[in-house]
Amino acid sequence: MSCISLFWFNEANLELGILIFMLAAIGYSSSIVFYNSFLPNIASPDQYAAVSAKGFSYGYVGSVLLLLIILMPVFLPNLQIFEGIDFEMVCRYGFVLTGIWWLVFGYISVSGLPKSDKESGFHFDFKAVQNRLMIALATVAQIQNLKLFLIGFFFINTGVQTVMYMAAIFGDIELHLSSDKLILTILILQIVAILGASIFAKISEKYSDRFTLTLACFLWIVVCIAAYFVQSDIQFYGVGALVGLVMGGSQAILRSTFTHFLPQNEHGKSAMYGFYDLLDKFSIVLGTLAFGIVNQLLGNMRASSLTLVVFFLIGLLVIRKIRLGPK
């Protein structure tokens, strides 16, 4: 509903638009906790990587399809049905279509999930939330591999999320790319991500999760170094394609690997998924903050891209200490 409400967002009600955007972000972030936590309920351990990859792949398919539908007036401006629709209206109607899309497919997804015996309506208990956080911290302290994985995940995800959040801004500021070229980059990134999730799942099945995550970190480092040297829109498209390839794969493998380390009891599992998402959000803050500080000090986003190499290297070194075993 927040996403649909962004239809009325314009420069005359900036504060209201920011508030609605925040509510939409809260809804999305909250949903991801439950989305991730259903993985062990709908798949066996040997299926985690494949099912996780399919989740991300189908997600990228949906996002590309919806984006193409929304941008039809941009791609086909001469059609009579699209006469008089400017880019601002495309964006505003895009918010409405996204909200409806979310509503329909969200209902389909939720209706197909196994139900819990504890479903008893909505209630919020801050003390219960605090207790679950304590359970998660205690669980992490008891399981050494889980602790190491979460440390590695935090640093790897810091780099991954920062690249995803800053890629379009980099293209705009450093290369002065037009809106249509930035949109094309996003489409390339998401289309390739569909393939990337499947490829990395196959690599994980043949070798090991640790090998796959090592490969992903190496490719992310290549992306960050390549961003420093990129000069043209064609080169930027190439880097974007590599980002898409490794983005879909690394996200899927990180989630499936995490699921292998969870405790057996359901209460511990659900608490850990909330903690996992908490680390995800803190890593976004750290990554964008570091990126911004370096850019502010040096006045160069290219140098900021190189700082992300440090996060991937730390994450890689930690992950290499975990025995994840061959498939």
CATH of residue 144's domain is: 1.20.1250.20
141 and 234 share one domain:
yes
18 and 146 share one domain:
no
Predicted confidence band at 266 (pLDDT cuts at 50, 70, 90)? low
244 and 325 share one domain:
yes
Alpha carbon distance 161, 286 (integer Å): 10
**Other Cβ atoms within 10 Å of 96 Cβ, number:** 15
pTM here? 0.80
| Contact present, 315 and 155 (Cβ < 8 Å) | yes
Name the residue range of residue 279's domain. 44-61+125-327
53 and 176 share one domain:
yes
Predicted confidence band at 326 (pLDDT cuts at 50, 70, 90)? very low
Angle between helices 48-70 and 87-111 (to 10 degrees): 150
Q: What angle do CA 200, 201, 203 make, to 5 degrees?
A: 60
Number of domains forming the structure of the chain = 2
pLDDT in tens, 162-193: 998 888 888 888 888 887 788 888 888 888 88
pLDDT in tens, 212-248: 899 999 999 999 999 999 998 899 889 988 998 898 8
Predicted confidence band at 126 (pLDDT cuts at 50, 70, 90)? low
